[in-house]
Amino acid sequence: MAKQKQMIHVLSFLFLVLLCGCESKEEVRVGLVLDFESVVGDLTSSYMSMAVSDFYAENANYKTRISLIPRDSNHDVIAAASAAIDLIDNEEVIAIIGPQSSSQAKFVIDLGGKVQVPIISFSATSPSLCPIESPYFLRTTLDDSAQLKAIAAIVRAYGWREIILIYEDTDYGNALTPYLTDIFQEYDTRMPYRSVIPPYSDEDGISKELEKLKAMSTKIFLVHMTASIGSKFFVLAEQAGMMTEGYAWIVTDGLSSLLDPVSSIAIDSMQGVLGIRPYIPALKKLENFTARWRKNDRLKNLNLFGLWAYDTVWAVAKAVETVGIVQSGFLKKNVSTGGVDLATLGISEMGPRLFTTILSTKFQGLSGNFTLVQGQLQASTFEVFNVIGKTERIIGYWTPEKGLSRDLNDKSIELSSSTNTLKAAIWPGDTTDQPQKLRIGVPKTTGFSQFIDARNDPQTNKTIVSGFCADVFLEVVDKLPFPLPYEFVPYEKDGHNAGTYDELLYEIYLQNYDAVVGDSAIVANRSLYVDFTLPYTESGVSMLVSMKDNEKKNIWIFLKPLSLDLWVTTSVVFIFTGLVIWVLEHRLNTDFRGPPDQQLGMIFWFSFSTLVFSQREKIVSNWSRFVLIIWFFVVLILTQSYTASLASMLTVKRLKPSFADVREIRNNGYYVGYQKDSFVKELLTKQIYIDPSKLRAYTTPEEYHVALSKGSHNGGVAAIFDEIPYINAFLAKYCSGYSMVGPTYKTAGFGFAFALKSPLVRYMSRAILNVTEDEDKMEAITLKNFGRPITCEDGGGTTDYSGSLGVYTFGGLFIITGVASVSSLLIYIFQFLHSHWPASDTGHLEGSFWSKIVVLAKHFDQEDLSLHTFETDQARVHPDINPESIEVSPNVDDMQNHSMTSNEGVRYGEDEIHSSGNHDDTSADAPNITEM
């Protein structure tokens, strides 16, 4: 059968040559290597036959005529290479069109470079074949990598972050895989699996691979196959139930360009498939050709590879005429009589000029403008189509300048990758609902519904999710640079939550959910099987306790403002200050003299009387004044602080936490509560070391209230540990009588969970930052779900119960007054010793140290009459005596005999004055004191 087809093609070419030829026309042989039994080979040979006929009908005056010499490669690389050698050695062709496949082209390209014969392929699209690196190789088709950005734009536009690549295990399929991997990494799209289909796989092998793909969570597939394998693959995919709702399929231009010759059975199985292919402008020339093409009943459909083949023949014919007729033989290196020897192949004389001429040839062909750039065609526009029925519906276009657009005439100059720029597609299952929606699990909670609440709408039978976490998620999705299709799926069983939060998150790892939205705390052990976004709430676990009112009932409440150590310290400083003032004033001030018991009382009285500034004693010493200036400032601060603290205890701060330290709860064996299904239970047992038998689980804020009200001994709990957002929500409802106390155990807060290595985590985290930094937006969400915060007037809310004021609070004041008092005292003692130490060295007293100390003590206890204050006091006691008139007796002997001190002289004078008062004032014998 193959030989018969080949013979038919040869006869048709000869007929065309005879029809168009004449004696004045020079025939130029061009080789043709195709798989004539393949779909592409069968169709393109007919296209090229019409191309030769049309070209010379339009250019009848040309002096040259190309003659196509066909050879069948029979789907074999060796056969293709053998056919090329035969055409070069025996037919001495000036160029070879083909081979058809990329694997066949590899060897033939090297052969063409060796003999300088141009190898021109319209179907070898592998990126591994590079015209720049392969001399004498021209590609009149598109490199497969040219479509990658357009494919990535479609995937990004629909928000698909994961896609499975399915390709055939040939050079055509394998060569594109590295390029696809790179482009998807650039666009943050994962390829969790790559499916390789051998080219000669039977139906059982393909069906087993499809069952494996069906079991995966990703339902988006990119198919890179030729028509021969692709048509069979999609028929089996439909039989496997993978062409139904929820799936999405994209085909590359290798299959998109061949949809026309695909069987009707394969087309029926590809309903809803998206495809991408180079855009062919609607030219008048193409329209006329199409009309003539379809007159043949056997050939009704156009094919893109056929159009490229048609234009390739025209390009070669034009180049041949341009080059002209020269010596077109081969320069032989050696003549061998035994078969074909590669070493004996000659070098084409016409090849170099023909190659250069084809490279620069430009004209308008059926596929558009024929222009080779760096040895191959360049396409700047791709069309996106949707298979519906027996046809393909164009839903948009892609260009490097504008990205995706519905219409090529779109005037927008902005690069776009949004689905809004594409027409609505009909997906597998005959639905307009976009496939591969994220299955987002939400907890089915009964308490704290302000955070997340999932319920079923009986009218639409759809899940309605509300609450703070859901509202934040919606705002975050709105900030994403691409659409994110999703559906909420409650995690429930028999209308109740199906498990703990850890179990819910583990469902992502089991691929039952793609994400979890809810009040899920970011905890280290959970990050082993899911990836979290950045948190969107405050973090931490704290303790919630009831408040007790016992301060006002305490008769000793007046002692509460100051701690015991502060009371003791203040008393010591009071006594010390009174003692310093007494030392500084004792010799100078009559108010600080008298019997010992009176002086001791003065020490205590004076310092404590300064509390209310009621001291009446006058101060004489400047050092005492200095000490009191500092002391009054300290007293002012202490009294004001005491007054403020006591007033606070009696008015504002009436309540006190029943427990402020978790150690007290743990040591006394009290019961502790936590939220059911929360990770807090593990924190209590492993980090806080609470006995598991002392734990009680609760669900709603009402249960929290009842448990704390009862207390640990009455069936309730002493405290409840929970995350701070829940505690704040509880306090917003039960403001009075409860408080959050104790240390905060750090956690990362609430976050959205996704599968490990999900590319969505990065985008969601960035969007969360944008939302949380918008204070107005977050405030609106908070008010919607929690209402306005309530201000508790009786101590509710967060309490850092600190109790009485301590010594450390006033440490600076005590240091200042201590330094002032000690400095003044030391200076006074130094001056006293400096003035009176010699006075203790008397003849009738022992010169021992202790005797001197005794004398100094006596001196200290004596009044210092040199101070003006004492003179004023004497004058006040005896106003009739002028102190200035008192003179010392001139009897020097008496003074020496008595050895009187100055103070004794004063006392003597006083005795004389008192004794003289007993005599008659008129006595003539009264001695004259001034004369004495």
Encode pLDDT of 33-88 as tens digits. Answer: 999 888 788 888 889 999 999 999 999 999 899 999 999 998 889 999 999 999 98
Q: Is the pLDDT of residue 300 over 70?
A: no
Q: How far is CA 929 from the centre of its chain?
A: 105
What backbone phi and psi angles, to 5 degrees, belong to 392? Answer: -115, 130
Q: How far is CA 604 from CA 245, 336, 575, 581, 902, in A?
A: 95, 136, 6, 11, 34
Taking only the tens place, the pLDDT of each residue in 452-461 is 988 887 777 7
pLDDT of residue 292: 85
Q: Is cis: bond before 657, omega within 30 of 0?
A: no
Interval 149-171 mean pLDDT: 90
For residues 698 and 651, the model is more confident at 698
What backbone phi and psi angles, to 5 degrees, belong to 2? Answer: -65, -40
Average pLDDT over the chain, rounded to whole?
79
d(CA 253, CA 225): 9
Poorest-pLDDT segment among 184-188, 293-297, 464-468, 495-499: 293-297
Residue where the block lists tokens 């191959």: 376
d(CA 599, CA 428): 108
pLDDT confidence bin for 590, thresholds 50/70/90: low
d(CA 327, CA 41): 32
The tokens of 279 are what? 């855009």
Please list, residue by residue across 564-582, b when 16 or more beta carbons sit within 10 angstroms of its beta carbon and e when fewer do. Answer: eebeebbeebbebbbbbbb
For residues 600 and 507, the model is more confident at 507
Taking only the tens place, the pLDDT of each residue in 362-417 is 999 998 899 999 899 887 899 999 999 888 899 999 998 888 998 887 665 555 55
Taking only the tens place, the pLDDT of each residue in 640-650 is 888 888 777 77
For residues 482 and 5, the model is more confident at 482
For residues 931 and 722, the model is more confident at 722
Taking only the tens place, the pLDDT of each residue in 421-442 is 789 999 999 998 888 888 999 9
Taking only the tens place, the pLDDT of each residue in 741-757 is 878 888 888 999 999 98
Does this model's pTM top 0.75? My answer is no
What backbone phi and psi angles, to 5 degrees, belong to 194? Answer: -125, 125
pLDDT confidence bin for 789, thresholds 50/70/90: low
The angle subtended at Cα 320 by Cα 317 and Cα 325, nearest 5°, is 140
pLDDT of residue 199: 85
For residues 921 and 28, the model is more confident at 28
Widest pairwise Cα distance in the chain: 190
pLDDT of residue 508: 93
Interval 910-916 mean pLDDT: 39
Taking only the tens place, the pLDDT of each residue in 655-671 is 677 777 888 888 888 99
Report DSSP letters for 702-725, one per residue.
HHHHHHHHH-GGGTS-SEEEEEHH
CA 584, 589, 595, 597: dihedral to nearest 10 degrees? -50
pLDDT of residue 732: 83
Taking only the tens place, the pLDDT of each residue in 97-130 is 989 888 889 889 989 988 999 999 998 888 888 8
% of the chain at pLDDT higher than 90: 29
pLDDT of residue 887: 42
Q: Is the pLDDT of residue 325 over 60?
A: yes
Q: Is the pLDDT of residue 138 over 90?
A: yes
pLDDT of residue 917: 42
Q: How far is CA 152 from CA 223, 270, 392, 440, in A?
A: 13, 21, 21, 25
The tokens of 398 are what? 């892609």
pLDDT of residue 7: 55
Cβ-based burial of 416 (10 A; exposed 0-12, middle 13-18, buried ≥19): middle
Interval 473-488 mean pLDDT: 90
DSSP SS3 for 872:
helix
What backbone phi and psi angles, to 5 degrees, belong to 364? Answer: -95, 110
For residues 733 and 708, the model is more confident at 708
Report DSSP letters for 766-835, one per residue.
HHHHHHHT-HHHHHHHHHHHH-SPPPPSSS-EE-----SB-GGGGHHHHHHHHHHHHHHHHHHHHHHHHH
pLDDT of residue 117: 93
pLDDT of residue 916: 39
Provide the phi-psi class of 803: left if phi over 0, else alpha when psi is between -120 and 50, else beta. Answer: left
List, in order, residues 6 or more apart from 52 with CB less than 8 Å away. Answer: 13, 16, 20, 66, 68, 313, 317
